[in-house]
Amino acid sequence: MATHDKGQGFRRGGGPGAPSAWLATLLVASVVMAAPAPAALPIAPGQAIPPGPGQEVPSLAPMIEQVTPAVVNIATEGHIQLHLNPLFNDPFFRRFFGIPDNQQLEQKTASLGSGVIVDAEKGLILTNNHVVANADQIFAKLRDGRKLQAKLIGTDPGTDVALIQIKGERLKALPLADSDKLRVGDFVVAIGNPFGLGQTVTSGIISALARSGLGITGYEDYIQTDASINPGNSGGALVNLRGELVGINTAIFSKTGGNIGIGFAIPINMAKRIMDQLAKYGDVKRGSLGALLQDLDPQLAEAFNLGGQKGAVLVNILPGSPAEKAGLKSGDVVLLVNGKPVAGAAELRNIVGLMRVGDKATLDIARESERKQVTVTVAEKPPEPSPEEGAAEGGKAAHPLLAGATFGDIEEGEAAGSGVVILSVERGSPAWTSGLRPRDIVVAVNRRPLKSVEELTAIASRNTRQLLLQIRRGNANLLIVLR
């Protein structure tokens, strides 16, 4: 069971028998929740059900009866290494407490979760990575009572997807839906093994789509639902009213541990792409453009004359990266990937990150007043440079939008001559209000790379109404529009 605390109220984890750390703030799909009001049945407004025999009451039962044999209960047994006080590394203390010198301190773990059979012939089951993490043994219990040992095929912590395999006869798999066609308001049903009680069904609707930036996993594009997701539901099925799998239940949002009707599921289209790699290679080798990204917000869209459009801005191109080899430049705005519109930086990162190293991506970009199409062969992300930088004595740039900031040339290390460093920023000044901070590196102004404070001053003095700054802040890059 994986547990950690992001401080955002997201909950993930295992079930009964798991270590006490499962009470941490972040426990995926494993918190006690008060059941919300069930979603209404999909009946036409004002439709009445006549009384009397022979009148069918609308029910999800026929669909549920077809679906539930494909949803399994998962139990795991494993161990984790304990990180105790460093004193226990001292041979004297180990002898005092009777711990052999060559013995690793560890704790046994057990967790409960769910899984979905997606290939009956091969016995392939999709579940969450955190359900099977640290597992030495994995067992899948079918609805008919059979308990089969499962083999771990592969896991991907970046999306919290895992693929396991069982051998058995008369297995039934769920058909996969196209999760890209989901709409807010669609009815859905969540199926899993809450609290180890056995298979349980809850209903709800799609509350939102493409949720990201939650800090639950590295690659996020969640379906949000109000269908109850309880401890043990992790890895279970989210299905539509046709009985097709639309998502893998993963997490809830709760600051108190109680259910407030906000649950998250991995879209099946994303899970399938990961599953295909795990089934073929046993792991996931993510593609990368080698570019640092930023959302095309309304302010930047106006600065780029792209008002009303969405996309992702390439803030910085890493040396030797696929983006550089394809001719992409800082300030390019990616509007489409393989013909699909890009809503922002997170979506572009997900699309490319779910591609295999060596795959090709066709990008439609906007560069100043031009529209271009560029083909990039994705590769593993190159290491980011971490130069030791030194700055010369600073001065103030001659522009009212930069008032309050003191700048210096970069003279030492690999980054010498590649931007100017902000030495100080007066609180409350125009520069501070615009978001500039000490130790920021101004790499370019109005798309023109900088080498010195003198160049910054010259460029800034010729642009009195607006400045577009490309900033490097630690390991992050961003664009700031000053008006």
Full DSSP string of 362-430: EEEEEETTEEEEEEEE-BPPPPPP----EEPPPB--S-GGGTTEEEEEEEESTTTTSSEEEEEE-TTSH
Query: How many angstroms separate the CA atoms of 237 and 201, rounded?
Result: 10
Judged by average pLDDT, the poorest of 99-103, 259-263, 385-389 is: 385-389
What is residue 1's predicted lDDT score, i.e. its pLDDT?
34
Is residue 124 a contact partner of residue 117, using CB atoms and an 8 Å limit? yes
- The mean pLDDT value for 124-145 works out to 89
**283 counts as catalytic:** no
17-63: pLDDT as tens digits: 333 333 333 334 433 333 444 454 555 555 555 666 666 778 888 99
What is residue 237's predicted lDDT score, i.e. its pLDDT?
92
SS3 label, residue 353: helix
Q: Where are the domains of the chain?
A: 1-35+62-283, 291-377, 390-482
**234 counts as catalytic:** yes
What is residue 23's predicted lDDT score, i.e. its pLDDT?
31
1-35+62-283 matches 390-482 in fold: no
What is residue 454's predicted lDDT score, i.e. its pLDDT?
78
Per DSSP, 345 falls in state H
pLDDT over 50 (residue 405): yes
- Across all residues in the chain, what is the average pLDDT? 76
> SS in 3 state form for 84-118?
CCHHHHCHHHHHHCCCCCCCCCEEEEEEEEEEEEE
The structure tokens listed for 1 are 């069971």
What is residue 470's predicted lDDT score, i.e. its pLDDT?
79
235-293: pLDDT as tens digits: 899 999 999 999 999 887 765 555 567 889 999 999 998 999 899 888 887 778 887 77
Name the residue with higher pLDDT: 85 or 347: 347
What is residue 25's predicted lDDT score, i.e. its pLDDT?
33
What is residue 400's predicted lDDT score, i.e. its pLDDT?
74
Query: How many angstroms separate the CA atoms of 75 and 136, rounded?
Result: 11
- The mean pLDDT value for 317-322 works out to 81
What is residue 480's predicted lDDT score, i.e. its pLDDT?
78
Q: Which residue in the list 111, 114, 234, 418 is annotated as catalytic?
A: 234
**452 counts as catalytic:** no
Query: How many angstroms separate the CA atoms of 312 and 154, rounded?
Result: 31
What is residue 232's predicted lDDT score, i.e. its pLDDT?
73
Judged by average pLDDT, the poorest of 43-47, 186-190, 208-212, 408-412 is: 43-47
Among residues 178, 190, 164, the alpha carbon closest in space to that of 252 is found at 190
Name the residue with higher pLDDT: 456 or 98: 456
pLDDT over 80 (residue 115): yes
| pTM of structure | 0.63
Query: How many angstroms separate the CA atoms of 99 and 88, rounded?
Result: 9
373 phi and psi, to 5 degrees? -120, 125
Name the residue with higher pLDDT: 83 or 114: 114
Name the residue with higher pLDDT: 186 or 231: 186
* Beta strands 263-267 and 222-225, pairing class: antiparallel
Judged by average pLDDT, the poorest of 38-47, 364-373, 382-391 is: 382-391
What is residue 392's predicted lDDT score, i.e. its pLDDT?
45
Ranges 68-77, 259-268, 367-376, most confident: 68-77
Judged by average pLDDT, the poorest of 178-182, 224-228, 357-361, 404-408 is: 404-408
pLDDT over 80 (residue 383): no
What is residue 81's predicted lDDT score, i.e. its pLDDT?
56
Q: Which residue in the list 130, 156, 321, 440 is annotated as catalytic?
A: 130
Find the radius of gyration of the CA atoms of the chain. 27
Is residue 201 a contact partner of residue 190, using CB atoms and an 8 Å limit? yes
Query: How many angstroms separate the CA atoms of 254 and 32, rounded?
Result: 10
* CA distance to 316, 401, 483, per residue, from 480 (Å): 13, 12, 10
Name the residue with higher pLDDT: 46 or 441: 441
Is residue 56 a contact partner of residue 144, using CB atoms and an 8 Å limit? no
Residues whose CB is less than 8 angstroms from the CB of residue 92 and which lie 6 or more positions away in sequence, other chains included: none
What is residue 266's predicted lDDT score, i.e. its pLDDT?
93
Query: How many angstroms separate the CA atoms of 455 and 449, rounded?
Result: 9
Q: Which residue in the list 114, 156, 160, 203 is annotated as catalytic?
A: 160
What is residue 120's predicted lDDT score, i.e. its pLDDT?
93
pLDDT over 50 (residue 384): no
Residues whose CB is less than 8 angstroms from the CB of residue 276 and which lie 6 or more positions away in sequence, other chains included: none
CATH architecture, range 1-35+62-283: Beta Barrel (2.40)
Query: How many angstroms separate the CA atoms of 58 and 40, rounded?
Result: 11
Overall fold of domain 390-482: Pdz3 Domain (2.30.42)
Class of the CATH-defined domain 291-377: mainly beta
Percent of the chain with pLDDT over 90: 21
